[in-house]
Amino acid sequence: MLVTYLEASRDLCETNSIPFGAALAVCHIIGAKLSTARRATGQSTAIIVWRIRIEERIARARAIIGRLICFWSGNNRPRIVHTVRMAFAGTNVSLSQPDIVQKLTERIDDLKQGIAAWGKRIRRYTERSTRFNQNRLFQSDQKRLYKSLKRRMVSGTGSALNQTDTVAFWRSLWSEPINHSEGPWTEVMASQCASITPMDPVIITPDDVAGTDAGLTNWKSPGLDGLHHY
């Protein structure tokens, strides 16, 4: 059956789609599933659910902290009291005991530490994911990586410097006469280096630059000379 369709195909793209469609039809008939797609989808979904679950914990902890502070300030509404009792569930803390203020402070500090730990976990994952994606992009498309890094650079939003004041500032520094002595050690070093033969001057020609540039790879980070190669 495939021979008829393959003989009637007009280009390579159509020829490639015929076996692919036949393979999908066979998988659908026998009830087979594509394991690669399932694993990739499951992994991305697990990451999203994991992050959402931690963000929900942070939101609940912040809500509890807010109600604990309200109770500390003298708000004794039933909903606030119920939340405070739930916050101390499983402990021997009573809302009528004398050191309830200290217990509230300790509980608030514990919740804040938990929020900081959860936030740091999300931050570590985000940084690791960013590094991983940048490394993959560097291997596949370095030009697009450098463009994405350049877009993240945000310029300052403050007022621009006055050109007259800037010129006057630097001119006042460089126009001052030298009022310091080099010291006797410079004369000693000059006498010791007097017998050294100076090195011949190095003349760099355009052919030297062209020959060096021909062996470089495009879109690489600067080397010892500090120059980008585009």
| Lookup result for tokens 């890094």 | 149
What SS3 state is found at 93? Answer: coil
Give pLDDT, residue 115.
92
In contact, 99 and 28? CB cutoff 8 Å:
no
**Cβ atoms < 10 Å from Cβ of 67:** 19
Annotated domain spans of the chain: 51-142
Average pLDDT, consecutive stretches of 10 residues, N- to C-terminus, the chain (230 residues): 68 71 78 55 56 90 91 87 86 84 90 91 89 89 82 60 85 78 83 88 89 74 61
Q: What's CA 204's distance to the chain center, in Å?
A: 41
Q: Report the pLDDT value the prediction gives residue 44, as an integer from 0 to 100.
A: 47
pTM exceeds 0.75 for this model? no
SS3 229: strand
CA dist 72 and 88 (Å) reads: 14
Q: What does the alpha-carbon distance between residue 35 and residue 22 come to, in Å, rounded to a whole number?
A: 18
What is the DSSP secondary structure assignment for residue 181, as one 8-state letter?
-
Q: What is the pLDDT of residue 5?
A: 67
Evaluate whether 64 touches 83 at the Cβ level (below 8 Å).
yes
Residue with tokens 């919740």: 111
